Amino acid sequence: MLFSLATWSPATVWLKDWMLQTIRTAYGLASPADLKAAEATLREGGIVPIFDGLDEIGPSDLIRAADAIHKQVGASPAVLTSIRTPETDRAARTALPSATVITMAPVEMQEVSRYLLDSPFAEIQELDPITSEIINDPRSPVGQALSSPFMAWLAKTIYAAGGSATSLRGVARPDELTNRKIFGDFESVEKHLLRGLPISVFERYRSSPKAHGSPAGAFTPKQAERWLGFLAARATRRIIAFWEFYQYAPLFRIALMSAVIAGCAIAAVGNAVGYFAGPGYLLLLAGGVFGIGWSRGYATRDKVSDPTRIGYNAGQYYQYRERLDLHEVRFVRAVAAAIVAYASGVVLQTAQRRTSWLFGLTPREFGTAAFVATVLCFLVANAGGRIAAWILLRRPEIDARMGARAGDPLAAIQSDKRSGVVIFVIATTVLGAGIALYDAAFLTVAACWNVCIAPLGAGIAASIWNEWLPFKVSHLWLAMRGRLPSHLGAFLRQCHEGGILRKNGNHFEFRHLRLQESLRTMTPGGPDTR
């Protein structure tokens, strides 16, 4: 089984836990029995790991990673791949001290020629200039470039598989690679092939009859190039994971702006409806409290290792048994947004000369509402999280459709969306019932209009627990600014089918690090890796 080391953080995650998580997401394992079977198979040597990309681990973590691999593998069979440098050579020898070292030699030109021509779309007469050049002069720029399997694949995808890469001279043809005035060295050939892949893939889709009327037919090569450049500049460890999108947009600023609007709206309605504004602001706070309480409750279940069920944490497979960093940060930001909403309402009231810090509530009523929105809400949410964990542990067929277990990136987005909808409905019900009981006990039955604020608080709760809502807000923001397509799922699917991206469990990743680096240079404003 392939384990892409680019997705592993040796400083924070045990190797065995990361491998089990990779197996889980790759095969969509859900039940405890499946997980135990996977762990037993890994322990007994039933899985031969192929650790791919040792060179993609940071220099400071290389030795730590090598030691972990050595301890995990022992005398069992394993494969480790890497671009060779003195540092990776030493680390590889530490990881697998008794392994045979196999170094890839340049591909023979006859094999490259056969590979290029072995395509149902290839027109031999058009490829003749390339095949003749590389066979007669293997040391030519194009010959040196195509001696790499990756570059040979790029050439076949662009020229021999029905594609048509656009160059500075218009529509590119295979014989242009033999023009030494344009491509004087192998590096210029490689650069051209790397830049030509997305253009070729999307030109091919646009010219295909199957693309007519589909979202894919709306993607122009230039748009695809710009969107891929944006993703390449921001993707860490080559991965494109929906739970990382919240880092691509200024979500906190969007939340604060929304808080100002909501705060003023609540105050404005409160001028006409008695006892509306004060409990309304506390409902926003209660939403954040519900979200962190649910997360805490779920995290304390029966010591079952399942880091992805309560958060992805920027794509790094942290052990979340006792770590809720991301949820806590979001909770603090939710509280800050609730305070901003409240302050905005006070400012609006002051401007209208209706200053009332408690918005018509007595100190006793306000204090009781604050207690209900914080302490009582947290206890209820914590209990709800524990109950949900208990149910899902015993009903894996339900849990398999909720969260990160899907072994496909687009399916993972949909399953997390379902999880968010469930949390939203539960939070809306609990918050609505809570404020209705408070109104009946301390205010008047006519004051129950503030139940209308419950969905806003539930949205805050869902944004703390769930990853789909931050992802969708980020996606919409970036789509409006032209950084990503509105049909993101269809776009990523086409990139995968065209070979630009590949699937790795519940996320996509760029097919090759060099491809990502090439796309980074094409993003507006230049490289901007986080």
Residue 398 included in any domain: yes
- Integer Cα distance of 96 and 454 in angstroms: 57
Locate 466 and state its tokens: 């769930």
Among 49, 71, 95, identify where a domain stops.
95
Q: Does 359 map to a domain?
A: yes
Choose the weakest-confidence range: 56-65, 163-172, 224-233, 313-322. Answer: 313-322
Query: Quick one: 465 and 336 in the same domain?
Result: yes
Q: What is the pLDDT of residue 120?
A: 66
Comparing 317 with 166, the larger pLDDT belongs to 166
Judge residue 352's burial from the number of C-beta atoms within 10 Å of its C-beta, 0-12 exposed, 13-18 middle, 19 or more buried.
Answer: exposed
* Co-location of 150 and 55 in the same domain: no
Helix (DSSP H) and strand (DSSP E) numbers for the chain: 21, 8
The whole-number pLDDT of residue 165 equals 47
Joined together, the tokens standing for residue 212 give 């007519």
In a domain, 224, yes or no: no
Same domain, 291 and 334: yes
State the Cα–Cα distance between residues 87 and 94, nearest whole angstrom. Answer: 11
Q: Which residues lie closer than 8 Å to 302 by C-beta, 6 or more apart?
A: 389, 390, 393
pLDDT over threshold 50, residue 307: no
Place of tokens 């023979």: 108
**Token couple for 477:** 């923001």
Of 39, 446, 507, nearest to 240 by C-alpha is 507
Residues 50 and 149 grouped into a single domain:
no
Match 């060779």 to its residue by tokens: 84
Do residues 232 and 523 lie in contact, with contact meaning Cβ atoms separated by under 8 Å? yes
Predicted local confidence at residue 323, as pLDDT:
45
3-state secondary structure of 460: helix
Phi-psi region of 213 (alpha: psi -120 to 50; beta: other; left: phi over 0): left
Could you report the per-residue pLDDT of 160-201, keeping only the tens digit for each?
Answer: 655 444 443 344 577 788 888 888 899 999 999 998 888 888
* Under 8 Å between Cβ of 39 and 47: no
pTM: 0.80
Dump pLDDT digits (tens) for 58-107. Answer: 888 999 999 999 999 988 999 999 999 999 999 999 999 999 999 988 89
Q: State yes or no: pLDDT of 376 exceeds 90.
A: yes
The tally of CA atoms less than 13 A away on the side-chain side of residue 64 is 14
Domain final residue pick, 475, 506, 524? 475
Residues 470 and 416 occupy one common structural domain: yes
Q: What is the DSSP letter of 101?
A: P
481 part of a folded domain: no
> What pLDDT does residue 222 have?
85
Residue 381 above 50 pLDDT?
Answer: yes
| pLDDT in the model for residue 356 | 72
What pLDDT was estimated at residue 100? Answer: 94
pLDDT-based confidence at 424, cuts 50/70/90?
A: very high
Pairing of strands 50-52, 2-4: parallel
One domain, residues 385 and 286: yes
Q: In this structure, is residue 102 part of a structural domain?
A: no
In this structure, are 321 and 460 located in the same domain? yes
- Answer yes or no: are the C-beta atoms of 350 and 266 closer than 8 Å: no
Q: Of 475, 500, 522, which residue constitutes the final position of a domain?
A: 475
pLDDT given at position 161: 58
In a domain, 226, yes or no: no
What pLDDT shows up at residue 400? 61
What's the sign of the alpha-carbon dihedral 332, 335, 337, 340? negative
Q: Does 282 map to a domain? A: yes
Number of domains into which the chain is organized: 3
Length of the chain: 530
Give the helix ranges, DSSP H, for 235-317.
251-272, 277-299
Residues 199 and 320 in one domain: no
Are 142 and 89 members of one domain? no
Retrieve residue 510's tokens.
């760029």
| Domain match, 258 and 386 both | yes
User: Per the structure block, which two tokens stand in for 156?
Assistant: 């076949």
Mean pLDDT of the chain: 83
- Residues 46, 183 within the same domain: no
Strand partners, 509: 239, 502
Choose the weakest-confidence range: 183-192, 297-306, 488-497. Answer: 297-306
Same structural domain for residues 148 and 122? yes
- Report yes or no on 462 lying in a domain: yes
Say if residue 436's pLDDT is above 50: yes
Domain extent, residue 156, equals 109-207
